[in-house]
Amino acid sequence: MRQTLIRIFLDQPWALWKTDPQSGISGPGIAVLWLIGGLLWFGFRFVRNRFSLPEGERSGLLVWAVGLVVTSLVGQFVNASSFPIFGYGFMLLIGFLCAVWFAYRRADANGIDRETILDAGFWILVSGVVGGRLFYLLQYGHHVFAGKSGGELLRAAIDLRQGGLVLVGGMVGGAIGYFTFCYLRKLSPLRLADVLTPSVFIGIAFGRLGCLMNGCCYGDACTLPWAITFPAGSVPFNSLAERGFLDPQAIATYPVHPTQVYSAINGFVLAFVTAMYFPRRRHDGDVFALACILYPISRFLIEFLRNDEGSQLGTGLTISQLYSLCIFLAGLALALTLSLRGATARRNVSELPSA
């Protein structure tokens, strides 16, 4: 695990690589990072445009040059010497960008305006984060708010620096944001959902890799060769010690299932399956219905290998398993409803209204 991926240094903006003496975490200076990022971006655009920059990129060069000057001087105007890049948030960002990119490619192939994809992605991201955080606070609020009062309660509620999202809550929140977006834009939610579904699973997969870096969503005891351990002071270690499963004086947890990796692989596999099924769908919504059936099954099974949640409501099932049952039934109902429509002709996705 690696909760803090790197640190970006402000006091020495041109440092190629520096180690923070207090945390022991290394990283580049902010100006170096800005320089390398700009060179990679403009180099990519230069080669892609057959060794010339597009007109729009030339003004971007000026913005980049100004940004290089600003990043070189920023350390003189702020008190902090560096700031962290958290692994969990970084993987969420990578997942979002990859998901949008894949949706872009699919949009081009199906005649959908790219702005519609970007706008829908923004609505899903924001509402998904809000939903994921609300569900987390409902489940673990007694830990989050313990010993806090006044303004500390609000800060604790919105502090996402080291995780604190429930995936099922994120999916519910994202769905609410998505259907609201479709209603406001007068789009067919099922038709657009079929295009976006594989991208959602790509985002989930990268998000689970973020969970691995953060240490949350950890597994139960494991004797298999690929079992992993977490060091003292980590999220799994503290949780297991608090629950009496681990000696607080130990140097690491006992070997556990890498359930975060299982979930990431599951996300990538479901992204592939739903993308391959897309050309074979018979009705608008078939891909989305398939996702609502397959994902709860895999999530329900993976939950048996996790050890971060207890059973709920006397059922012997975790809260995520109960959510999964509801999503599965909804997906099954949708699939049956669509099948009863008969062999209706599937309209071309390019008929989607543009934004």
174 and 299 part of one domain: yes
In whole angstroms, give the CA distance from residue 172 to residue 320.
12
264 part of a folded domain = yes
Structure tokens at 134: 């609300």
Q: Quick one: CA dihedral 210, 212, 213, 216, positive or negative? A: positive
249 part of a folded domain = no
Instruction: Write down which residue in 60, 80, 100 finishes a domain.
Output: 80
Instruction: Write down which residue in 35, 53, 80 finishes a domain.
Output: 80
91 and 71 part of one domain: no
In whole angstroms, give the CA distance from residue 313 to residue 298.
22
Who's near 341: CB < 8 A, 6+ residues apart?
283
337 and 302 part of one domain: yes
139 part of a folded domain = yes
13 and 146 part of one domain: no
Q: Are 119 and 34 in contact (CB under 8 A)?
A: no
In whole angstroms, give the CA distance from residue 36 to residue 198.
31
| Angle at alpha carbon of residue 245, lines to 206 and 163, rounded to 5° | 25
The reply to whether 299 sits in an annotated binding site is no
State how beta strands 4-9 and 82-86 pair: antiparallel
One digit per residue, pLDDT tens: the chain, 355 residues? Answer: 788 999 999 999 999 999 998 889 999 999 999 999 999 988 888 888 888 877 767 788 888 999 999 999 988 888 889 999 999 889 999 999 999 999 988 887 777 888 888 899 889 989 998 998 898 888 777 777 877 777 777 887 887 665 678 877 888 898 899 999 999 999 889 989 999 999 999 999 999 999 999 999 999 999 999 999 999 999 899 989 999 999 999 999 999 999 999 999 999 999 999 999 999 999 999 999 999 999 999 999 999 999 887 777 788 899 889 989 999 999 999 999 999 876 543 444 444 444 3
Domain around 197: 86-220+257-351
DSSP reduced 3-state for 8: strand
Q: How many independent structural domains does the chain possess?
A: 2
325 part of a folded domain = yes
185 and 323 part of one domain: yes
Instruction: Write down which residue in 40, 65, 80 finishes a domain.
Output: 80
Of the candidates 170, 167, 189, 186, the one whose C-alpha atom is nearest the C-alpha of residue 178 is 189
Q: Residue for token digits 């490619």?
A: 105
190 and 285 part of one domain: yes
In whole angstroms, give the CA distance from residue 129 to residue 145.
19
127 and 191 part of one domain: yes
Of the candidates 284, 296, 292, 270, the one whose C-alpha atom is nearest the C-alpha of residue 339 is 284
In whole angstroms, give the CA distance from residue 73 to residue 151.
33
347 and 205 part of one domain: yes
